[in-house]
Structure 1
């Protein structure tokens, strides 16, 4: 069970979905009986975030691994119960023994506060929540930030940490074409954040998308990745190696919602993490 003091955390009853069609199509693919604990975390600005926690602190000795997952756009129903994030959370928890935290952003579910149009407030919340998560897991040496769709924007704003904790980012189905709408025309801010992240030698970044994304064409993705990392090599498997700290992978046949491609997504993330020795 999650070990949090009553003064900091209270239990909560347990986005609908990410655009209404996705949850019904994909829920049957999850096949997991793992039920997270749900807590409510107060933040310094006065609001609180509802967070699903997958953790068994008493049963995982040694160095610990923490993962924080960011859901799609709340204005279209995105929340912590997104089936893609749920599948990733279970994989990270069961396969890699990670302590996984999946928050609802402002005004979603039992989270309080007002959602912003630009995403800047939510990005600041992510930084504060991540520090809270790390404070609850002793001996953490590894942090994984996973962002899916709109959540990828928030994840890209979280800098790699200094010091003994190695930081990894998984940027999933980056909403390239809808970016102006999702950020209230703060497109350049988010492009610059991601560009700085992939150039940071402390960071380890996986960017993954499908060639059948409904919102961004494969041509747009290819142009974008070329701008991010012009010196790169592409393999026959669709993996694009962009230097020692960044890998870009296109999954053939995958759309924005990863319908019918959950296994490929799990393996893409898992194989990338397994390349880094102390994550195994």
Structure 2
């Protein structure tokens, strides 16, 4: 048997959550299953507490069961940025284990140069400062170990749940956190936009990236909602004072490229930074997945000066 590659062992650690949690939803006593990814190397105060190597049989801990030493260790890590990730529709099998989150997002942040391709032109890019970034993903109600259930029409409590997970994640990591980012994939894009903004003035929501939002489907989901997706998107832009990034593929099975283009034109460049990836489908497989990672890295590193620029990735 071949000896394991030490570099692959390091890579494996990036792919696994460092802490599995059951966190209160916006309407306790319902709890939501969550995963907190932390930058490496972990300090010893954290290392001795948590399942680094992906021991999936480990029972998630409730927030109130985290001991004082672990809480202190998390706050002492100096994490400055928290990315909250929202997954596809649970009614169609979506969960926080979707590869767009567990592979593409996590890879882009913590291991930006890992790739299955040997073409250097596809893996060059700026490092999005993984040393100061944490990611929290979670299952919406009725998915995995999360309690409750999702409605068939509308979004129910899901947007408020996202805001609650965001608040708890930031709270666990302490006063070093300076900014919150939101990442929504597919149906999760809707929650990302509808969720209330952080209330703590010292933790501003700085950036939002929507991956393959099925905007035509959103019309039906929000039919009875008080706020529709386009209106919420404009409010989101006003809050950010910069465009919301939207990336999509030309072969998306749910939304045609022309629909995305028309939607972006209607919203305007000041509201939406639209990025089209040729040949990518809704699942972001094969080389198109690597292109998505490039977009994620660009989004993490983007300054206000290049927010307005439209892109197309062939």
Q: TM-score, normalising length from structure 1?
A: 0.75
> RMSD over aligned Cα, in angstroms?
2.5
Counterpart of 2:251 (choices 202, 212, 230) is 212
Structure 2 distance, partners of 1:159, 1:118, is 16
Whether the 8 Å CA contact 1:179–1:185 is kept in 2: the answer is no
- After superposition, what is the alpha-carbon deviation per residue over 1:136-189, rounded to whole angstroms, capped at 9, x for unaligned? 112101211100000000001135546333421111101112223444554962
Structure 1 distance, partners of 2:26, 2:172, is 17
Counterpart of 1:67 (choices 83, 94, 97) is 83
Whether the 8 Å CA contact 2:178–2:204 is kept in 1: the answer is yes
Q: Which has the higher contact order (CA 8 A, sep 6+)?
A: 2
Task: Point out where structure 2 has 5 or more consecutive residues left out of the alignment.
Answer: 1-10, 44-75, 113-128, 305-314
> Is 1:52 matched up with 2:35?
yes
Task: Point out where structure 1 has 5 or more consecutive residues left out of the alignment.
Answer: 1-30, 230-241
Distance change (3 Å), C-alpha of 1:273 and 1:246: farther
Whether the 8 Å CA contact 1:50–1:103 is kept in 2: the answer is yes
Match of 2:167 in 1: 131
Whether the 8 Å CA contact 1:169–1:203 is kept in 2: the answer is no
Structure 1 distance, partners of 2:191, 2:240, is 20
> Is 1:114 matched up with 2:149?
yes
Structure 2 distance, partners of 1:187, 1:224, is 20
Question: 3-state DSSP class of the match of 2:82?
Answer: strand
Structure 1 distance, partners of 2:26, 2:211, is 29
> Is 1:265 matched up with 2:292?
yes
In the alignment of these two chains, the number of paired residues is 234
Whether the 8 Å CA contact 2:264–2:272 is kept in 1: the answer is no
- TM superposition shift of 1:207: 1.1
- TM superposition shift of 1:259: 1.7
- After superposition, what is the alpha-carbon deviation per residue over 1:55-103, rounded to whole angstroms, capped at 9, x for unaligned? 2595585451101100000000000111111121343244532211110
Question: 3-state DSSP class of the match of 1:120?
Answer: coil
Q: TM-score, normalising length from structure 2?
A: 0.68
Match of 2:239 in 1: 200
Alignment of structure 1 residues 1-280 onto 2, 5 Å: 32-33=12-13, 34-36=15-17, 37-45=19-27, 46-56=29-39, 59=43, 61-62=77-78, 64-87=80-103, 88-95=105-112, 96-97=129-130, 98-116=133-151, 117-138=153-174, 139-161=176-198, 163-167=201-205, 168-183=207-222, 186=225, 189-202=228-241, 205-229=244-268, 242-243=269-270, 246-260=272-286, 261-276=288-303
Structure 2 distance, partners of 1:221, 1:187, is 23
- After superposition, what is the alpha-carbon deviation per residue over 1:103-128, rounded to whole angstroms, capped at 9, x for unaligned? 00001000001212311310111111
The structure carrying a bigger strand percent of its residues is 1
